[in-house]
Amino acid sequence: MKIVEIQHIQLNMPLKSSFVTSYGVLKEKAFDLYFVCDERGNQGIGELVSFEVPDYIEETIVNDRHIIKNYLLPLLKGKTLQYPTDVWQLFQTVQGNYMAKSAIETAIWDLYAKRQKQPLSYYFPTTRDRIPVGVSVGMHESTDALIDAVKAYVEQGYTRIKLKIKPENDYVPLKAIREAFPTILLMADANSAYDRQHMDALKRLDTLNLSMIEQPFHPRDFVLHQQLQQQMQTAICLDENIRSLEDVQTAHALQSCQSINLKIPRVGGITEALRIVEFCDSHQLTVWLGGMFESGVGRALNLQFASQQSFQFPGDISASDRYYYEDIVTQPVTVAQGEIIVPSGMGIGVELNWEVIHRICTLSEKISLE
């Protein structure tokens, strides 16, 4: 398989409501699609999910476009690929820039599956056709507004609630959700907002029967997470810390966490994500699939990947209407009885809605590799 041409488009969609985290407020989401074309005219699609500001991780969408165009695509020029994992090897000379790598690597997996006329899930061991899903909930102005929002998600069928927290806005809203929904799977995500001085405040959350607490401390800090995990019953989950299998191995060796939020783009693509799933399975770490406000393309990829049996804990994979008014795929994703059905088409399994794409597209370019 040879990649001969890439089409790149830039898109932007408003969020239905602002999403508030310990980092700040997100009102609209910029994202790009990369279409990779082979010598036979087949096409695969990948989504670039990075943000405009370097708050969640250091990558930004503008820099990722630059890395893709000037460093990653030239590595594919003139190369014959036997299997999509070859791309991971080729990209090893570029450090970091995981989301940039993932946009291209996942597009090539999609292309490969479409060439072979198989759904992407065909290449993963032991998969299911529907998967349990949860919803990530931002901070709200008042506890009443929060409970109303959570109630609506529970009515829509979501079986797990993840609440964004920060110091001074954690115990009270979490306790309110726990009291209103005594048996629901509930967890908290701090997005690195805590410090050593907050140890006792975090330990107080141990009484709320949380499934886990995600990323309380700095994205590079494995030691403080280990100290907290030692003093808490509730599982610690790492998100921002985990950029590669080596990071998972470090977390495991130090006992910094019991759970991994795995995002394919944050670890550079499917090849690395598969290595991480395998490691988690054989080392008693819970692995579950996180999200990046994906459009229908990134969501379809997430559904294919999370169809693996290893993903028992509900992922941050929500319906198309969770964040956006419309989707860029022709069959928007819906939740029924807490589950989403994995698309069954070839590759990532979805068709694009070009009417929507043309309307929200802000730039389009073709890059030839011949």
Residue 239 near Mg ion by CB under 5 A? yes
- Judged by CB under 5 A, the number of residues near Mg ion is 3
Nearest to Mg ion of 85, 259 (CB atom)? 259
Residue 247 near ligand OSB by CB under 6 A? no
Q: Of the candidates 47, 105, 170, 189, which one interacts with Mg ion according to CB under 5 A? A: 189
Looking at 112-120, 122-130, 170-178, 285-293, which segment touches ligand OSB (CB under 6 A)? 285-293
Q: Would you call 117 a catalytic residue per the annotation?
A: no
Q: Would you call 263 a catalytic residue per the annotation?
A: yes
Nearest to ligand OSB of 241, 310 (CB atom)? 241
Which among Mg ion, ligand OSB, none contacts residue 318 (Cβ within 5 to 8 A by kind)? ligand OSB
Phi, psi of 260 (to 5 degrees): -125, 125
Residue 327 near ligand OSB by CB under 6 A? no
* Positions in 112-151 near Mg ion (CB under 5 A): none
Residue 290 near ligand OSB by CB under 6 A? yes
Tokens 């921002």 appear where? Answer: 240
Given 29, 101, 162, 164, the catalytic residue: 164
Residue 291 near ligand OSB by CB under 6 A? yes
Residue 241 near ligand OSB by CB under 6 A? no
Q: Of the candidates 22, 50, 97, 136, which one interacts with ligand OSB according to CB under 6 A? A: 136
Active site residues: 164, 263
Sites of contact with ligand OSB (CB under 6 A): 56, 136, 189, 191, 239, 290-293, 316, 318
